[in-house]
Amino acid sequence: MVFLLWSRPSPKDQKACLEKCDSFNYDAKYQGSTDRPVCALQKDERLSAEGFLLNHARARIGSGLETYEKGKQALQNWRHFQMKWTFVEPNTPIKRGVKFCVCVKEFLPWLMMPLQVVYVNENKTSEKMKASYRFGSGTLHGHLLAGEERFSVELDENNEVWYEILSFSKPSHLLSFMGYPYVKLRQKYFAKESADALLKHISSN
């Protein structure tokens, strides 16, 4: 099951997609795993044994509490997805259990890839950072990949603000299996474009 459209997916198209995707396509024991530190996932032998690959990207987007708050607001409004070739409906609430579509344009068709928010966490103080906001979403049946992805904005002890993406995934459809090297390149490309989108939003507000 793959959701393809020749034109930009409308909210109605996305709703129809989500109505057909009622469950996660990866094991429940891994749900919420991206809320752990990167090093913990790197050492998790279960993930690698089951064919999951890690994707991690981190970019400095500024400094100070004001920048952190702008970055947090940007994530909550899905600014990190608002590009010409990919988007999430900006009014989608980031709350546990909410389903949404990541819409991606690949060559001519658009893909709708269904996900569900698994967790949302915010910490104001800790030993390694002053503040952090993050949320993770898991793939549903109908997504080309199986796994989970976390987006976060952090204000560290040096007053620097960082945008981070952490995910683990593996192909869940023949198309992604055959084109997985391309998928991995697109993940890296998205990480750069996404960070640039946040920087542009923060600098203009």
Which domains does the chain carry? 4-203 (3.30.530.20)
User: 126 pLDDT band (50/70/90 cuts)?
Assistant: low
Please give the average per-residue pLDDT across 138-166, as a whole number: 95
Q: Is the pLDDT of residue 14 over 80?
A: yes
Q: Is the pLDDT of residue 128 over 90?
A: no
What is the C-alpha separation between 202 and 132, in angstroms, rounded? 17
Report how far Cα 195 is from the mean position of its chain's Cα atoms: 12
User: 119 pLDDT band (50/70/90 cuts)?
Assistant: very high
Please give the average per-residue pLDDT across 6-20, as a whole number: 95
* Interior angle at CA 36, CA 76 and CA 102, nearest 5: 40
Q: Is the pLDDT of residue 174 over 80?
A: no
Quote the mean pLDDT of the chain: 92
Share of the chain above pLDDT 90, in %: 78
Tell me which residue of 66, 84, 86, 85 sits closest to 74, measured CA to CA.
66
CB 129 within 8 A of CB 156: yes
Tell me which residue of 24, 67, 44 sits closest to 162, measured CA to CA.
67
What is the C-alpha separation between 65 and 130, in angstroms, rounded? 9
